[in-house]
Structure 1
Amino acid sequence: MTETNFNKQRIAKNTAVLALRMLFTMWINLYITRLVLQNLGIEDYGTYGIVGGVISMFAIFGGGLTNAINRFMAFELGKNESNIQKTFCSCMNVVFIFALLSFILLESIGLWFLNNKIQIPERSIIAANWVFQFSIITCVVNLISIPYNALIIAHERMNAFAYISIFQVLMNLAAVYAIGFINHNRLFFYGLFLATVSVGIRLTYQIYCRHNFKESKFRLIIDRSHMSEIGKFTGYSLLDGIMVMLFAQGFNVLLNINFGVVMNGIFSIATQVRTSALAFSQNVQKAIEPQIIKTYSNGETDKSLKLIYEGSRMQIYLLAFIAVPIWVRCNQILSLWLGDVPEGTALYVSIFLFISMIYAITCPVITGALATGNIKRFLLVADFIYIIAIGLLYIIPHLTNTTSQSFAVFLLSIETAVALYRIYAFSKISSLSLRKFAWACIFQPILVIAAAYYSISLVNSYFRYNLTGLIEVVIASCIILSLIILFTGLNNYERKIILKMFNNIKLRIIALL
């Protein structure tokens, strides 16, 4: 075991840094959503969501490229002898090709789809097209920046993400305030401001890499065999990204076709809650991801699997601290957050939090599969499930009087099926124990969260239904969850580590006093 590849102290530090960043950015982002909804209105907010959905449908290369390049960068750094600059340059060459292809697809098929297949209020059509163009610029810049972000992740410089993310969310907040002073074409200016912020932030990441990593200097190094390997890996990841995108954004489009832009607004709100909540648990994922890949690259497979077990458990436990209070007082939280809550929002928010937990469990598993490089069957069968789901989503409304609520339940069912398959598939390409994973990362966390939810629900009625009462519920929820996780959700070794950590914190506080 090398200090470079396996360092729990670094994981803890990076997790803490990312958690502090998240606590700040999450609440600001939630407040931003409220301001945007107030300043744009539900129709323009839904229009912005569906335009972003179209971009996501055609910006399919980002996910595949990110997975592939993150894997190759970390894998190369994990070797005892590596040529990271050669890998970086090969990744940049591949990215340039995909960025050009994305631009062509967006300006042709994407633009046609926006203007011919999407229901957009007539007064917003021109603004929607401008927002689409701004989003294209952002999309291409984001693609070109992927290798630079991968370098930061591979080197585990998570503090860079923390500082730059805080700056970005403050700029987004400024953009939302700015549109409040504009009387006309608010949708247009909102898209313009966000595109400007996004481009500036991506350039900031690039400048950071240039000053900290000498291998980030691009040179025209063409290694066809290496590029082919990266391209093949990207292809499989890309196909998976296409299916995930078609299912998620296709779901959004079908909501639009069957229920109109108001449901797109609800979908965007639920997605925002899911993204914000998942960001809390993803602090662990970001911290352990490079070490899962680097330890595997260096032949330390036992260490890699240990990180996968621990990462899955810790992510779902962290997510529970966000999800459980929301489930208990969803309507009140939505009312305080949004003011006027569209009907049906609470159901979508609750279900999307369940989906977040499913993703949190499987996220380290996906990273483990990427580390092995044996991803063909791991991805393609899951993609087949998404293909079937897309067809059913299109056909069912023509056969029955389907409601938007049944759409949400269907989404949860498909995501559960895909997650269970991925866990099974990873066990076939690694030494992962299904029995151990099922108990430690699925059944035990479910029992812990169910017990916590039941306990908090029992005491919920004792707290007033106002802001003070909500804060009291959140505090009670955190205490109850902490106790249940500590005494029933951890093994003896993990419990000793947690108790030791709290004891060290207590001693430091006493020393300060």
Structure 2
Amino acid sequence: MKNRILSNTLYLYSRQIIIILVTLYSMRVVLIELGIEDFGIYGVVTGFITLLAFLPGSMSSVTQRFFSFAIGEKDVYKLKKIFSINLIIYFFIALLAFLILNTLGKWYINEHLNLPDSRIQAAISLYSYSSLAFVISIFTAPFIAILIAHEDMHIYALLSVADALLKFIIVLSLAYTNYDKLVYYGLMLLILSAFVAVSYIILCLRKYKECQLKKIYWNNDIFKEIIGFTWWTLFGQLSTAFRNQAVTVLINQIFNPATVAARIIALNVANQIAILATNLNTSLYPPIVKHYAAGENREMMSLIHNGSKLTFFLMWMFALPLIIKMDYILKLWLVNPPPQAVIFSRLAIIEGLIIALALPIANAARAPGKMALYEISLGSVQILIFFITYYFLKSGFSAEWVFYIAILANLLMFYLRLILVKYLIGFKIFVYFKNVLIPIFLVVIISTFVSKLLEIIIYVDNFYTVSLYIILSLLFSIILIYYAGLSKEWKSKVKNMVFKKFKRGKKI
């Protein structure tokens, strides 16, 4: 099981390296081609749609949980019921999203967004295309969830890379279009989302027996269980989306488009680094649920402990040099980044590190299917973040306080998760502190000291010296993580996996 997790992680990790490189360069081109004003408009307009972006993500986690649980129980007939029930639920959620976006959403875009008069019509067209693409993504989510539940990460990685490369081609084509670039970009992303959805649907219908459209398998008990789990998951995801996107809209109302653009850039930088950790978490989710379903408590706890460390470390080893050299990197990447992009990006990465550490714990909380207390507790904190942020910004505090408040709130939510998981699955917090947090603390302190020392030694900032600095910092972090961060068992697993890959490479 652990070898498969590491193998799946390697697939997802390789995929994400490609996607990160493509995405980061794509953002540079989009910023240049659209300009800061249109880039800010794109972020605000799509930001309203992103308020509902929790729908495909949360539904996907629901589908994964129930599929993984049934696979753990080895119940094929139950898998067919889960697929049929989820397909019907997704249809009604997509219909609801379409109605909300085309009524409340259009009203808000027309009446309340702070947009230049000359760009209102372009913003409305962009909104129409983006909302349709979003509805399509809802239909794609259950099929992606099925791929992940079956742990076919190589297929998921391949399709994800293809999606990223096609988006990159769209970005490059911005320089050659004679149409309004903001409108054109939205239209092409809509076409791509339809193509990707069809690809996932056809693949899953052909590969998995439970995926079929000829017959509806129904079970009232499973339906009630899925609805209950879905409702509380949606509440939790809605509170997160509300906080993130409502804060972006709030910044648009109080500050200027350049500040909005700086926040969008910061969140994208943090998200690209965080996805490295999220990919490992994606491969951990199905086995954690399967171990819980099979009553294998020891194996589940091992995955939670080691998964927490690995998800944090995978993000940390890239985050550290980027935080230290963020000023130079943003100038190299974007040429002329918005003034607050550097401080925003650093703070967004710190927030992302706290979130990454908590991901396996969140997976464990979902395993029993008792989501009410968990989601109410964390969702309340998320909603509270927005109102505290609103008070601070209206009181005259600077825009970076958005991130300071979020960091403190995420520390609180991390502690709440530990308490709640203790209640849900008998999680031992002291053991977690000893096995996870102490090694992480040591790695963070030592690697930060060494990286700052390297910065003093390599004090000239140009492309070659910064590249050398990042490579040296990365190598030291990897060595430190291996020797001071991993348990003996996982050191052995990593070593065996690397040697196997090396031997295969030699044979080729």
Shorter-chain TM-score range = over 0.9
Worse-matched range after superposition: 31-40 or 315-324: 315-324
Worse-matched range after superposition: 429-438 or 53-62: 53-62
Matches within 5 A, 1:213-362: 213-218=208-213, 219-362=215-358
| 1:162-182 Cα deviation digits (max 9, x unpaired) | 111111111111111111112
Distance 2:499 2:141 in 1: 41
**Alignment partner, residue 74 of structure 2:** 80
Identify if the C-alpha distance between structure 1 residues 501 and 238 changes in structure 2 by more than 3 Å, giving closer, same or farther. closer
Whether 1:200 aligns to 2:195 is yes
**Alignment partner, residue 15 of structure 1:** 9
| 1:479-506 Cα deviation digits (max 9, x unpaired) | 2112222222223333344445555566
| 1:219-277 Cα deviation digits (max 9, x unpaired) | 33343332222111111011111111111111111111111222211111111111110
**SS of corresponding position for 1:343:** coil
How far 1:410 moved relative to its partner?
1.2
| 1:267-291 Cα deviation digits (max 9, x unpaired) | 1111111111011112211211111
| Residue pair 1:63, 1:238 contacting (<8 A) in 2 also | no
How far 1:469 moved relative to its partner?
0.9
**SS of corresponding position for 1:192:** helix
Distance 2:457 2:38 in 1: 40
| 1:316-362 Cα deviation digits (max 9, x unpaired) | 11111210110121111111110002111111111111111111111
Q: 1:103 aligns with which of 98, 105, 114?
A: 98
Whether 1:34 aligns to 2:28 is yes
**Alignment partner, residue 149 of structure 1:** 144
**Alignment partner, residue 451 of structure 1:** 446
**TM-score, structure 2 as length reference:** 0.95
RMSD between aligned alpha carbons? 1.8
Q: Structure 1, unaligned stretches of length 5 or more?
A: 1-6
Distance 1:28 1:126 in 2: 30
| Residue pair 1:319, 1:357 contacting (<8 A) in 2 also | yes
Distance 2:324 2:491 in 1: 27
Q: 1:43 aligns with which of 23, 37, 50?
A: 37
Whether 1:54 aligns to 2:38 is no
**Alignment partner, residue 393 of structure 1:** 389
**SS of corresponding position for 1:373:** coil
Matches within 5 A, 1:493-508: 493-502=489-498
| Residue pair 1:361, 1:442 contacting (<8 A) in 2 also | no
Identify if the C-alpha distance between structure 1 residues 495 and 68 changes in structure 2 by more than 3 Å, giving closer, same or farther. closer
Worse-matched range after superposition: 368-377 or 438-447: 438-447
| 1:392-416 Cα deviation digits (max 9, x unpaired) | 2222333x22101222211211122
Distance 1:324 1:498 in 2: 22
Distance 1:496 1:149 in 2: 31
Q: 1:71 aligns with which of 65, 71, 89?
A: 65
| Residue pair 2:289, 2:367 contacting (<8 A) in 1 also | yes
Identify if the C-alpha distance between structure 1 residues 387 and 279 changes in structure 2 by more than 3 Å, giving closer, same or farther. closer
Whether 1:422 aligns to 2:409 is no
Distance 2:433 2:124 in 1: 47
**Alignment partner, residue 112 of structure 2:** 117
- Same amino acid, percent of matched pairs: 24
How far 1:184 moved relative to its partner?
4.4
| 1:130-183 Cα deviation digits (max 9, x unpaired) | 111111211111112222112101111111111111111111111111111124
| Residue pair 2:6, 2:494 contacting (<8 A) in 1 also | no
Distance 1:191 1:209 in 2: 27
**Alignment partner, residue 126 of structure 1:** 121
| 1:84-136 Cα deviation digits (max 9, x unpaired) | 11110011111111111111111111111112221122222111111111112
Letter of the aligned partner of 1:272 in structure 2?
A: N
**SS of corresponding position for 1:119:** coil
**SS of corresponding position for 1:215:** coil
Letter of the aligned partner of 2:323 in structure 1?
A: W
**Alignment partner, residue 484 of structure 2:** 488
Distance 1:416 1:199 in 2: 39
How far 1:512 moved relative to its partner?
5.8
Whether 1:434 aligns to 2:433 is no
| Residue pair 1:64, 1:236 contacting (<8 A) in 2 also | no
| Residue pair 1:119, 1:261 contacting (<8 A) in 2 also | no
**Alignment partner, residue 3 of structure 1:** none
How far 1:302 moved relative to its partner?
2.0
Whether 1:478 aligns to 2:457 is no
**Alignment partner, residue 4 of structure 1:** none
Q: 1:158 aligns with which of 139, 153, 156?
A: 153
Q: Structure 2, unaligned stretches of length 5 or more?
A: none
Distance 2:219 2:116 in 1: 50
| 1:279-310 Cα deviation digits (max 9, x unpaired) | 11122112111111111112212212211111
Distance 2:368 2:56 in 1: 21
How far 1:63 moved relative to its partner?
3.3
Distance 2:430 2:90 in 1: 40
**SS of corresponding position for 2:400:** helix
| Residue pair 1:292, 1:304 contacting (<8 A) in 2 also | yes
How far 1:438 moved relative to its partner?
2.3
| Residue pair 2:350, 2:407 contacting (<8 A) in 1 also | yes
**SS of corresponding position for 2:233:** helix
| Residue pair 1:335, 1:341 contacting (<8 A) in 2 also | yes
Letter of the aligned partner of 1:374 in structure 2?
A: K
| Residue pair 2:3, 2:497 contacting (<8 A) in 1 also | no
**SS of corresponding position for 1:313:** helix
**TM-score, structure 1 as length reference:** 0.94
How far 1:385 moved relative to its partner?
1.3
Worse-matched range after superposition: 487-496 or 29-38: 487-496
Aligned length: 505
Distance 2:157 2:57 in 1: 21
Distance 1:480 1:403 in 2: 36
Distance 1:508 1:226 in 2: 45
Distance 2:51 2:491 in 1: 44
